[in-house]
Amino acid sequence: MQLGDVEQVHQIDQLSFSLPWPESAYRYELTQNVASASWVAEVTRPDGTPRVVGMVVVWLILDEVHIATIAVHPEHRGQRISQQLLTVVLRAALQRGARLATLEVRAGNEAAQALYRRFKFELVGRRPHYYHDNHEDALIMNVDLSQPSAYQEWLDSEQRLTSQDH
């Protein structure tokens, strides 16, 4: 992700979440938060210009990676973009020595939970009334990365299977 992507990223955030981050938060992540890493997924428009269709922001702190936000534009959901973004994030986390990946997800967001379970995330806790817009609980999910070779091998295998599905 680059500063020039922030407007499109913020639009995806607004379309995806009832509590979107402000644009300034993305600028902060890109320019001031040394623990932050972020990626976008792009497609090429008919005129040849790129369009951001997915994004993810993570925080790499010591030996953990926290997935702070991940979203795909509604027009591009169901195209495995979120899987590709998660794969990139988890590969980067492994390369940087992360031993654990963690995230929070709305208790009612079953599609996201299914995606995370596919990547071997497990439910480890609950934050009651975490989301202040509707007091929905947040589920805390983690995946153990302490065996990096085994998880990397699984990611490679999963990517091959996903490629064959097309």
CA-closest candidate to residue 57, choices 16, 13, 15, 99: 13
User: Choosing from 26, 29, 104, 151, which is the catalytic residue?
Assistant: 104
Q: Catalytic: 104?
A: yes
Rg of the chain over Cα atoms, rounded to whole angstroms, equals 16
CA atoms within 13 A on the CB side of 110: 0
**Which pLDDT tens digit goes with each residue over 81-108?**
999 999 999 999 999 999 999 999 999 9
**Which pLDDT tens digit goes with each residue over 28-45?**
999 999 999 999 999 999
pLDDT at 158: 79
3-state helix, strand, coil in the chain (%, to 5): 40, 35, 25
Q: Does residue 113 surpass a pLDDT of 90?
A: yes
Length of the chain equals: 166
Q: At 89, which helix (H) or strand (E)? A: helix 81-95
Q: Looking at residue 67, which CATH number applies to its domain?
A: 3.40.630.30
- Host domain of residue 101: 3-165
Number of domains in the chain: 1
User: Could you give the CA distance from residue 49 to residue 43 in angstroms, rounded to a whole number?
Assistant: 8
CA-closest candidate to residue 66, choices 28, 33, 40, 17: 33
User: Choosing from 42, 116, 136, 158, which is the catalytic residue?
Assistant: 116
Q: Catalytic: 130?
A: no
Q: How confident is the model at residue 111 (pLDDT cuts 50, 70, 90)?
A: very high
Q: Report how far apart, in Å, the C-alpha atoms of 56 and of each of 9, 26, 32, 150, 165 are.
A: 9, 11, 17, 24, 24
Output the DSSP codes for 92-132: HHHHTT--EEEEEEETT-HHHHHHHHHTT-EEEEEEEEEET
